[in-house]
Chain A
């Protein structure tokens, strides 16, 4: 019996990891990206279209690691945010509407990443909580100001919906997961990390191509 629980626990962990890897298949056009060939990314403060006032800062903290691990130089997000605030640009909307090239020249970046939170909410239901996040990513080239890459990705965590899988084993895992995630107040961070992981990965011709610090640099276009 003890072995069973251990096995279940492992299963649960693995499923958590794989969820972040599932993607939809759609080929992007990378010609503009190839021409721009960005080596560095300036992550600008996040625009918030949800009702949660803390969401943009929390989400900002999740972007650096997956981008840098993708092989890019990522500008220090918190420092950039503070300096922009000192310059009177504490409003993320203002920053996003500002001239791209001017922002580039301030920091010397190759590309700027504009992220907005479209959804970041939790609906309480009788027995469970449905947590939704939805993000919009746009990467703009600093030489031309053009859009060179974009992605839109949302994720819903809804235990009730998944309970109807028909597979008792999967249901068990989902229930355990659900308890873990909604135990405290709804925790958006695991979902946010998963969405970023999916968006910045490069599976089957979608996602962000590898940057110059990775071996796959300039090779993964061909796949």
Chain B
């Protein structure tokens, strides 16, 4: 007897689910994007791990050809923070190419990072710059 009630309840809920269209078929390959961001805010000092995770998510999304909006930029920014400016620019370019909405923002970022690269070159010719230690 309880079995009948169970299966009835179950069917009703399944039908309800379909009608509501709540089934979570995602358009993009997010991977663990939200939990990565969450743990980044929980342990902000662990930047290396955050960069690693973003790299993994980006590579997987590229493989599936379902890269979500903002991901290249987010990964690019983590690269920039780690001192890897050339890779950062590559990812900003990718974001710009994939998402025309990001055009103005990415152009600005690329310009700023390039300017910083040049300034760094100039100053490192005179003295050793402090930003070297964050690189690889």
A residues apposed to B, CB below 8 Å:
4, 7, 10-11, 14-15, 17-18, 20-21, 39-40, 54, 57-58, 60-62, 64-65, 68-69, 72-79, 82, 107-110, 169, 189, 201, 203, 213-214
Contact = CB atoms under 8 A, between A and B. Distances in A.
Interface string B23-51: 01011101001110110111000000000
Nearest to B23: A17
A108 B104 contact: yes
Contacts of B42: 54, 58
Contact of A169 (B9, B27, B30, B40): B9
A151 to B, nearest CB: 18
23 contacts: A11-B6, A18-B16, A20-B22, A21-B17, A21-B20, A40-B101, A54-B41, A57-B41, A60-B41, A61-B38, A65-B33, A68-B69, A72-B69, A73-B70, A73-B101, A75-B73, A75-B102, A76-B71, A76-B73, A77-B74, A78-B74, A78-B77, A79-B73
A68 B70 contact: yes
Contacts, number: 110
Interface string B2-28: 110111011001101100101010111
Chain B's interface size range is 35 or more
B40 A39 contact: no
Given A21-B20, A203-B20, 6 more contacts: A10-B10, A11-B13, A21-B17, A65-B30, A65-B68, A69-B28
A109 B106 CA distance: 12
A79 B74 contact: yes
Contacts of A65: 26, 30, 33-34, 68
User: SS class of chain B's interface: helix, strand, loop or mixed?
Assistant: helix
Closest 3 pairs between A and B when the two form their complex, measured CB to CB: A108-B104, A61-B37, A73-B101
B111 to A, nearest CB: 13
A110 B16 CA distance: 35
A64 B41 contact: no
A87 to B, nearest CB: 12
Contacts of A11: 6, 9-10, 13
Contacts of B104: 107-108
Contact of B105 (A68, A78, A107): A107
Contact of A64 (B20, B34, B81): B34
B70 A75 contact: yes
Contacts of A10: 10
A88 B37 CA distance: 22
